[in-house]
Chain A
Amino acid sequence: MAPKTIIEKIWDQHVVREEAGQPDLLYVDLHLVHEVTSPQAFESMRLQNRKVRRPDLTFATVDHNVPTINRDLPNPDPLSDQQIRVLRENCHATGIPLFDIFNINQGIVHVIGPEQGLTQPGMTIVCGDSHTSTHGAMGALAFGIGTSEVEHVLATQTLPQLKPKTMSVEVTGTLSPGVTAKDVILEILQTIGVDGGIGHVIEYRGEVIRSLSMEGRMTICNMSIEGGARAGLVAPDDTTFAYLKGRKYAPQGEAWDRAVEEWRALATDEGAVFDKYVTLRGEDIVPTVTWGTNPAQSVSVTATVPDPESFETPQKREGAERSLKYMDLKAGTRIEDIAIDRVFLGSCTNSRIEDLRSAAKIVEGRKVAPTVTAMVVPGSGLVKKQAEEEGLDQIFVEAGFEWRDPGCSMCLGMNPDILLPGERSASTSNRNFEGRQGPGGRTHLVSPEMAAAAAIVGHFVDVREWVK
């Protein structure tokens, strides 16, 4: 048999039906649902008298617009409240399990899937959210879909899909202290550009990827979509199995051993060919800060804001000029001289326990700069609980951070956690688009360590100096 990539193996195992001239019909092993992209799908199902085919392969939570404070009070936003209520009713009517707002397991959909052990190697996973690619860290083929497709999956547990192209992104060698998975993915995005991955699924490979924890791999796979790729994944290995073992939905006992055997066979075969190859050296990667309004516009923290004239194409030059204008930055300004107003530690990119631990290490015994407002929004109720058991909340609170309840929060600004016009943030999230964190807000994407250090000094700073 011809050698195959992990992407092709998972694909082939899920084809329900193929016919020349048509997309393959792909089976979906797990469908994650949240309050924002699902109401229209459920409504349309009702109108057409269609039933949810597999509530037992579907899971829902509320995350995008939940408040992160005062949850015991009535929701201040009637529209958000309605959206949450509608999801509750839809789940109730269709038998889909839901982690509701007061459930300890509630959290960002891409944090809770792996945390519960629902996300497993070799699965196909979809969700009405582009960062579904996060689940690829477990060796799953996971991608975001729109509301019409949400309805399609609810009704049929399948999706017609065109076979994607494959892309190998290899990161060789090792990372220096203070350089994190976030810096790796920002560097990858700078290399491939925001549209370099269109039509592709990425397999992340190489020693640097192998040496990362599951949290780090999730950070990387999470931002695959920022490079235009529908999905990104890492082949499962002992790190994956150690993370998964014993989790609530993971196979137990004899089934576990059988599962591990199947999962090991998923790895890309020797000699398999990808449609595209990119290689980076771990040693070249440094703590990175975005300066623009897309995630590929980034530089080293020790560098300066680039001159738009330095870009090759007129389009890129124009884009950079627009970005700098929106960000109110001048070419040549040292990144370390950029003062910030807000720090957001959270989002499905960087709100897991390891992210909070490494940020807390930077913060411990220090105080947030008087000019900065900083908040920590754990990715899930379980992350929050674990952090509190480890005393991380105390470290953050004593330093002057706000300690919030789990949700998407300031990552997309659907709840009251937003930047004010003109405010500048250091954010551990994944998108620095214009107005993403609030109309007129200016976002710089960084790692949790870099965000924590910036909170302390009030401007960006090379965190490598702090972790020596």
Chain B
Amino acid sequence: MHRVEKVRGNAIPLNRADVDTDQIIPAKHLKRIERTGFGPFAFEAWRQDPDFVVNNPAYKDAPILLARQNFGSGSSREHAVWAIEGLGVQAVIAPSFADIFKNNCSKVGLLTIELPQADLDWLMARAEETPAAEIEVDLPSQTVRAGASWERHFEIDPFVKHRLLNGLDDIGLTLQHGDDITKFEEQRSDLKPRTLAAT
């Protein structure tokens, strides 16, 4: 995974709640066997509408996405994270995220930042009024800054933060505990099914 420390730039105000993963990347695009190339299909149905915010050239290549609560609900498809990354987004700010989506983001290196509803109201209005207005997300100090005087602290799981800051591969970390896994397996109940036993 790549390292994440700071994200700075303007933000796309996606002023909708409960944005589900079927909107982020429709199922018909899940047939690819690669991890890349999903960006052009992100929000495909909504992009049919020329007024949809993601189509607005003023937000092209914006590294931050603002959204409402329960962002990324629905399917476990990591393709949704790849699609958002494919748009050039490196951080999503919303009042809450669906569990699996948030987890997937943390594995890939897309920052998910939770701020209260009222802060999103303010950031959203600002990004709508001034599309070029910049936001800075600083992971080491866990702060979001917008302008000279607006600053908010955000919470993040300390282990996720550690992994993101150092670009650590989760699997590599777990493999270091191979002995613990073997020990666990030795005392595992013999009653549990094995898929190869009866085929």
Q: Contact: B100 with A198, CB < 8 Å?
A: no
CB proximity to B under 8 Å, residues A287-320: 294, 315, 318-319
**How far is B199's CA from A95's CA once the two chains are assembled, in angstroms?**
12
B99 contacts which of A123, A132, A198 (Cβ < 8 Å)? Answer: A198
B107 touches A56 (CB 8 A): no
A267 in the interface, Cβ–Cβ < 8 Å?
A: no
A21-B159, A152-B174, A198-B96 known; A433 vs B31 contact (CB < 8 Å): no
Contact check: which of B26, B74, B76, B195 meets A59 at CB < 8 Å?
B195
- Would A160 and B174 count as touching, CB distance under 8 A? yes
How close is B87's CB to chain A, nearest CB, in angstroms? 18
The residues in A between 405 and 461 inclusive whose CB is less than 8 angstroms from any CB of B are 412-414, 431, 433-436, 439-440
Confirm or deny: A178 has a beta carbon within 8 angstroms of a beta carbon on chain B: no
Q: Collect the chain A residues with CB atoms within 8 Å of residue B18's CB.
A: 194-195, 294, 319
Chain B's nearest CB lies how many Å from the CB of A107?
A: 15
Identify B33's interface contact among A25, A39, A255, A258, CB under 8 A. Answer: A39
* Of A76-84, A336-344, A359-367, the one with at least 4 CB within 8 A of chain B: A76-84
* Max count, chain B CB within 10 A of own CB: residue among A148, A158, A434: A148
Task: Say whether B30 contacts A414, CB under 8 Å.
Answer: yes
Contacts A228-B73, A228-B98 given; indicate if A83 touches B174 (C-beta within 8 A).
Answer: no
Please name all residues of chain A whose beta carbon is closer than 8 Å to the beta carbon of B157 when the two chains form the complex. Answer: 23, 162
Interface residue B20 (Cβ < 8 Å from any Cβ of A): yes
Interface string of A202-229 (1 = CB under 8 A from B): 0000000000000000000000010010
CA distance A86 to B30 in the complex (A): 14
Enumerate B169-185 residues with CB–CB distance to A below 8 Å.
170-171, 173-175, 177-178, 180-181, 184-185
User: DSSP class of B's interface residues: helix, strand, loop or mixed?
Assistant: loop
B198 touches A249 (CB 8 A): yes
Residues of A with C-beta under 8 A to B180: 16-17, 25
* Chain A hits for B33, CB < 8 A: 39-40, 43, 82-83, 86
Q: With contacts A118-B193, A439-B45 known, is A195 near B73, CB below 8 A?
A: yes
A29's nearest neighbour on chain B, judged by CB, is B192
Q: Known contacts A16-B180, A413-B28: does B22 contact A436 (CB below 8 Å)? A: yes
Cα separation A39 to B185 with both chains bound (whole Å):
27
A156 to B198, CA, bound (A): 23
User: What's the Cα separation between A199 and B96 when bound, in Å?
Assistant: 11
A156 to B185, CA, bound (A): 11
CB-CB < 8 A to A16: which residues of B?
Answer: 177, 180-181, 184
CA distance A355 to B159 in the complex (A): 44
**B156 at interface, CB cutoff 8 A:** no
Which residues of chain A have C-beta atoms less than 8 A from B191's C-beta? Answer: 251, 255, 258-259, 262
Write out, one digit per residue, whether chain B residues 134-160 have a CB within 8 A of any chain A CB (1) or not (0).
000000000000000000000001110
Q: Which residues of A contact B74 (CB under 8 A)?
A: 130, 225, 431, 433
Q: Across the interface, name the chain B residue whose C-beta is closest to A130.
A: B76
Q: Which residues from B are CB-within-8-Å of A199? A: 99
Q: How far is the CA of A262 from the CA of B192 in the complex (A)?
A: 11
Q: Taking the nearest CB of chain A, how far is it from the CB of B70, in angstroms?
A: 4
Find chain B residues with CB under 8 A from A21 CB: 158-159
Contact check, B28 vs A146: say whether CB atoms are below 8 A apart.
Answer: no
> Smallest Cβ distance from A374 to chain B, in angstroms?
22
* Min distance, Cβ B4 to any Cβ of chain A, angstroms: 15
Residues of A within 8 A of B108 (CB): 148
**What residue in chain B is nearest A439 (Cβ atoms)?**
B45
The answer to the question of A120 belonging to the interface, with a C-beta cut-off of 8 Å to chain B, is yes
- Give the distance to chain B from A288, nearest Cβ to Cβ, in Å: 19
Q: How far is the CB of B176 from chain A (nearest CB, A)?
A: 10
B188 touches A155 (CB 8 A): no
Q: Give every chain B residue within 8 A of A160 (Cβ-Cβ).
A: 159, 170, 173-174
Check B58 for interface membership: any CB of A closer than 8 A: no
Is the pair B196, A249 in contact by a Cβ cutoff of 8 Å?
no
B197 interface hit (Cβ, 8 Å): yes
Closest to A80 in B: B31
Q: A160-B170, A434-B22 are in contact. Are A147 and B70 (CB under 8 A)?
A: no
CA distance A207 to B158 in the complex (A): 41
Question: Among residues 64 to 109 in chain B, which have CB atoms less than 8 Å away from a CB atom of chain A?
Answer: 68-70, 73-79, 81, 96-100, 103-104, 107-108
Q: Interface code A109-152, partner B: CB below 8 Å = 1, 0 otherwise?
A: 00000000110100100001110100000000000111111011
Residue A248 is within 8 A (CB to CB) of chain B in the complex? yes
Known A16-B180, A230-B99, A251-B191: A37·B76 in contact at CB below 8 Å: yes
Known: A25-B177, A147-B104. 5 other contacts (CB 8 A): A130-B75, A144-B76, A249-B194, A414-B31, A440-B45
Across the A-B interface, give the 4 residue pairs with the lowest CB-CB distance, nearest first: A148-B107, A146-B104, A146-B78, A79-B31
22 CB contacts below 8 A, A to B, read A36-B31, A37-B30, A39-B33, A40-B78, A129-B75, A144-B76, A146-B76, A147-B78, A158-B181, A160-B170, A162-B157, A198-B96, A198-B99, A230-B99, A248-B198, A255-B190, A262-B191, A315-B68, A319-B17, A413-B27, A433-B20, A436-B22
